[in-house]
Amino acid sequence: MRPTYNNAREKKYILSQSVSQPTKIGVFYTAFYGVLAALVAICMWAFLQTLDPRIPKWTLDGSLIGTNPGLGFRPLPPTDNVESTLIWYKGTHHDNYKQWTDALDEFLAVYKVPGLTPGRGQNIYNCDYNQPPPKGQVCDVDIKAWAPCTKENNYSYHKSSPCVFLKLNKIYDWIPEYYNDSSDLPEAMPQNLKTYIGEMQKTQMHKMNTIWVSCEGENPADQENVGPVDYLPIRGFPGYFYPYQNSEGYLSPLVAVHFQRPKRGIIINIECKAWARNIIHDRKERVGSVHFELLID
């Protein structure tokens, strides 16, 4: 049956109802969502004003890491034993020390190839003590100065005189307070480091703003067994790497510690420390110092 309309007026009324109702709803929802979108945009904008992608929200004393940097060492013992800090190998067996030199290859790869760190290539700057990097640029790490602690030389593991690398944990905006006066050094500092700093002040005064490092046998027997220790390229972390401000491409400075003639066949307990006035050494909290053992069969 065809729908019939009583008259023309009724027909017009029905048509106007079915057209204007959806239009009103459409206008209402458009306005409603428009206002919502505007509110979200305003909140987002206000939130983003408080954030800088390069600056962490919590820094220094407000941060959980605190203001006391930790010290770390590489190569790390295999991950299947996280508690172990023992570097153990047979000097003459390549298969035996390979895991340590491989671990170092992997750790140092970013230092050898700037392209592995985003932004490093274009931001790299040839820093020196009297030439700190401009804002946003990062210092080069001279890996050739690590010799004999180089990949080509198997980090000297094959000669039973292994190299261990030290690294200070990054803390945003932390500024070291240097021991840059040899007449004002702490009691607890090892005598050979005091002597080194004294020499440095006489001959290379401009390098005094350095975070010094020391590595020693822990007990008297260890001190005897550890033998002579060399630090490359210098005995500390140069001050021009600080403060760390999350510039794109930044890599921490490293100190290569070369154990030149450690006694073989015995475990040697070694403790390394970083020295600045605002570094407190606390072995339990694992800050300012690091402990590991060496055993070369």
Ligand X SMILES: *[C@@H]1O[C@H](CO)[C@@H](O)[C@H](O)[C@H]1NC(C)=O
Which positions touch ligand X (CB under 6 A)?
94, 153-154, 158, 177-178, 180, 209
| Minimum gap (Å) between residue 127 Cβ and ligand X | 16
Nearer to ligand X, 223 or 278 (CB): 278
Nearer to ligand X, 96 or 223 (CB): 96
| Minimum gap (Å) between residue 244 Cβ and ligand X | 16
**Cα separations (Å) of 154 from 91, 93, 135?**
11, 12, 36
| Minimum gap (Å) between residue 83 Cβ and ligand X | 30
Residues 47, 293: Cα–Cα separation, whole Å: 49
Nearer to ligand X, 142 or 177 (CB): 177
Helix (H) or strand (E) holding 49: helix 8-49
Q: Name the burial class of residue 60, with classes exposed (0-12), middle (13-18) and buried (19+) by CB atoms within 10 angstroms of its CB.
A: middle
Nearer to ligand X, 226 or 276 (CB): 276
Nearer to ligand X, 66 or 132 (CB): 132
Q: Using DSSP bridges, classify how beta strands 254-259 and 229-232 pair: parallel, antiparallel or unpaired.
A: antiparallel
Q: CB count, 10 Å around CB of 137?
A: 18
| Minimum gap (Å) between residue 33 Cβ and ligand X | 57
Nearer to ligand X, 83 or 184 (CB): 184
Q: Name the burial class of residue 201, with classes exposed (0-12), middle (13-18) and buried (19+) by CB atoms within 10 angstroms of its CB.
A: middle
| Minimum gap (Å) between residue 117 Cβ and ligand X | 27
| Minimum gap (Å) between residue 198 Cβ and ligand X | 15
| Minimum gap (Å) between residue 153 Cβ and ligand X | 5
Residues 156, 260: Cα–Cα separation, whole Å: 9
| Minimum gap (Å) between residue 289 Cβ and ligand X | 20
Q: Which residue is nearest to ligand X (CB)?
A: 94
Contact 154, 101 (CB under 8 A): yes
Contact 172, 246 (CB under 8 A): yes
Residues 105, 109: Cα–Cα separation, whole Å: 6
DSSP type of residue 146: G
Nearer to ligand X, 196 or 222 (CB): 196
Nearer to ligand X, 61 or 184 (CB): 184
Residues 261, 257: Cα–Cα separation, whole Å: 12
Q: CB count, 10 Å around CB of 51?
A: 10
DSSP type of residue 75: S
The half-sphere exposure of 259 on its side-chain side, counting CA atoms within 13 A, is 32
